Structure 1
Amino acid sequence: MRTDSEIRTEGFRALMNALGDVEAERFITLLNREHFDYTAWRKEQWKNQSVADLAAEARALRQSR
Protein backbone atom coordinates (compact mmCIF):
# COMPACT_ATOMS: atom_id res chain seq x y z
CA MET A 1 0.00 0.00 0.00
CA ARG A 2 1.33 3.42 -0.95
CA THR A 3 1.59 6.30 1.47
CA ASP A 4 -0.55 9.43 1.20
CA SER A 5 2.54 11.35 0.13
CA GLU A 6 3.27 8.91 -2.70
CA ILE A 7 -0.33 9.06 -3.92
CA ARG A 8 -0.33 12.88 -3.79
CA THR A 9 2.95 13.05 -5.72
CA GLU A 10 1.73 10.62 -8.37
CA GLY A 11 -1.58 12.48 -8.63
CA PHE A 12 0.14 15.83 -9.18
CA ARG A 13 2.40 14.23 -11.77
CA ALA A 14 -0.62 12.73 -13.58
CA LEU A 15 -2.39 16.10 -13.59
CA MET A 16 0.68 17.87 -14.94
CA ASN A 17 1.18 15.24 -17.63
CA ALA A 18 -2.48 15.43 -18.68
CA LEU A 19 -3.02 19.19 -18.43
CA GLY A 20 0.40 20.79 -18.38
CA ASP A 21 1.82 22.73 -15.45
CA VAL A 22 -0.33 25.86 -15.78
CA GLU A 23 -3.69 24.14 -16.31
CA ALA A 24 -2.95 21.58 -13.57
CA GLU A 25 -2.37 24.45 -11.14
CA ARG A 26 -5.56 26.09 -12.38
CA PHE A 27 -7.50 22.85 -11.82
CA ILE A 28 -6.23 22.56 -8.24
CA THR A 29 -7.11 26.20 -7.60
CA LEU A 30 -10.63 25.63 -8.93
CA LEU A 31 -11.12 22.68 -6.59
CA ASN A 32 -9.89 24.67 -3.61
CA ARG A 33 -11.94 27.76 -4.48
CA GLU A 34 -15.39 26.22 -4.68
CA HIS A 35 -17.28 23.64 -2.69
CA PHE A 36 -16.71 20.34 -4.43
CA ASP A 37 -18.45 17.11 -3.49
CA TYR A 38 -16.31 14.44 -5.12
CA THR A 39 -18.76 11.66 -4.27
CA ALA A 40 -21.69 13.43 -5.94
CA TRP A 41 -19.53 14.33 -8.95
CA ARG A 42 -18.31 10.75 -9.28
CA LYS A 43 -21.85 9.35 -9.23
CA GLU A 44 -22.80 11.54 -12.19
CA GLN A 45 -19.50 11.55 -14.11
CA TRP A 46 -19.78 8.14 -15.78
CA LYS A 47 -23.41 7.42 -14.96
CA ASN A 48 -24.31 6.04 -18.39
CA GLN A 49 -21.11 4.07 -19.04
CA SER A 50 -20.29 0.53 -18.06
CA VAL A 51 -16.96 -0.52 -16.59
CA ALA A 52 -16.20 -2.25 -19.89
CA ASP A 53 -16.83 1.00 -21.78
CA LEU A 54 -14.56 2.95 -19.45
CA ALA A 55 -11.83 0.31 -19.71
CA ALA A 56 -12.02 0.42 -23.51
CA GLU A 57 -11.71 4.23 -23.47
CA ALA A 58 -8.73 4.02 -21.11
CA ARG A 59 -7.00 1.46 -23.35
CA ALA A 60 -7.62 3.61 -26.44
CA LEU A 61 -6.25 6.70 -24.69
CA ARG A 62 -3.16 4.85 -23.53
CA GLN A 63 -2.49 3.48 -27.03
CA SER A 64 -2.86 6.95 -28.54
CA ARG A 65 -0.08 8.38 -26.38
Structure 2
Amino acid sequence: MLTDTELKLKGIKVLLKELGKVETERFIALIKKEVFDYTEWQRSLWEDKDVEELSREAMEFRRRQKI
Protein backbone atom coordinates (compact mmCIF):
# COMPACT_ATOMS: atom_id res chain seq x y z
CA MET A 1 0.00 0.00 0.00
CA LEU A 2 1.27 3.46 -0.92
CA THR A 3 1.67 6.18 1.65
CA ASP A 4 -0.55 9.25 1.26
CA THR A 5 2.38 11.22 -0.16
CA GLU A 6 3.31 8.47 -2.63
CA LEU A 7 -0.31 8.21 -3.76
CA LYS A 8 -0.59 11.96 -4.33
CA LEU A 9 2.68 12.06 -6.28
CA LYS A 10 1.70 9.09 -8.42
CA GLY A 11 -1.72 10.62 -9.07
CA ILE A 12 -0.21 13.94 -10.13
CA LYS A 13 2.23 12.16 -12.46
CA VAL A 14 -0.65 10.29 -14.13
CA LEU A 15 -2.69 13.48 -14.49
CA LEU A 16 0.27 15.36 -15.95
CA LYS A 17 1.02 12.57 -18.41
CA GLU A 18 -2.59 12.24 -19.56
CA LEU A 19 -3.81 15.84 -19.34
CA GLY A 20 -0.76 18.09 -19.43
CA LYS A 21 0.00 20.92 -17.01
CA VAL A 22 -2.89 23.26 -17.78
CA GLU A 23 -5.64 20.62 -17.77
CA THR A 24 -4.19 19.03 -14.61
CA GLU A 25 -4.44 22.40 -12.87
CA ARG A 26 -8.02 22.80 -14.11
CA PHE A 27 -8.90 19.30 -12.89
CA ILE A 28 -7.47 19.95 -9.42
CA ALA A 29 -9.27 23.30 -9.22
CA LEU A 30 -12.56 21.62 -10.16
CA ILE A 31 -12.13 18.92 -7.52
CA LYS A 32 -11.23 21.44 -4.81
CA LYS A 33 -14.15 23.71 -5.73
CA GLU A 34 -16.78 20.98 -5.79
CA VAL A 35 -18.36 19.49 -2.68
CA PHE A 36 -17.58 15.81 -3.09
CA ASP A 37 -18.61 12.95 -0.85
CA TYR A 38 -16.42 10.00 -1.83
CA THR A 39 -18.40 7.53 0.29
CA GLU A 40 -21.70 8.48 -1.34
CA TRP A 41 -20.14 8.45 -4.82
CA GLN A 42 -18.61 5.01 -4.21
CA ARG A 43 -21.95 3.57 -3.08
CA SER A 44 -23.58 4.40 -6.39
CA LEU A 45 -20.56 3.67 -8.59
CA TRP A 46 -21.11 -0.06 -8.92
CA GLU A 47 -24.69 -0.48 -7.76
CA ASP A 48 -25.52 -2.70 -10.76
CA LYS A 49 -22.73 -5.23 -10.03
CA ASP A 50 -22.41 -7.83 -7.32
CA VAL A 51 -19.26 -8.57 -5.31
CA GLU A 52 -18.32 -11.60 -7.41
CA GLU A 53 -18.50 -9.64 -10.65
CA LEU A 54 -16.42 -6.79 -9.22
CA SER A 55 -13.88 -9.29 -7.94
CA ARG A 56 -13.62 -10.99 -11.34
CA GLU A 57 -13.13 -7.65 -13.07
CA ALA A 58 -10.51 -6.55 -10.55
CA MET A 59 -8.57 -9.81 -10.93
CA GLU A 60 -8.72 -9.53 -14.74
CA PHE A 61 -7.53 -5.91 -14.58
CA ARG A 62 -4.63 -6.89 -12.34
CA ARG A 63 -3.72 -9.80 -14.63
CA ARG A 64 -3.60 -7.44 -17.63
CA GLN A 65 -1.41 -4.95 -15.72
CA LYS A 66 1.24 -7.63 -15.09
CA ILE A 67 1.56 -8.48 -18.78
Q: TM-score higher than 0.5 here? A: yes
The equivalent residue for 1:11 is 11
Q: Percent identity?
A: 39
The equivalent residue for 1:33 is 33
Q: Which runs of 4+ in 1 moved over 4 A?
A: none
Q: Which secondary structure does the structure 2 equivalent of 1:20 belong to?
A: helix
The equivalent residue for 1:42 is 42
Letter in 2 for 1:9: L
TM-score, normalised on structure 2?
0.59
Distance 2:19 2:12 in 1: 10
Gaps of 5+ in 2: none
> Structure 1's 46 and 30: CA in aligned 2 closer, same or farther, altered over 3 A?
same
The superposition leaves residues 8-64 of structure 1 with CA deviations (integer Å, 9 ceiling, x where unpaired) of 1011112223333322221211111021101111122232243124555x47xx6xx
Q: How many residues align?
A: 60
Gaps of 5+ in 1: none
Distance 2:48 2:20 in 1: 29
Which entry has the higher C-alpha Rg, 1 or 2? 2
CA RMSD in angstroms comes to 2.6
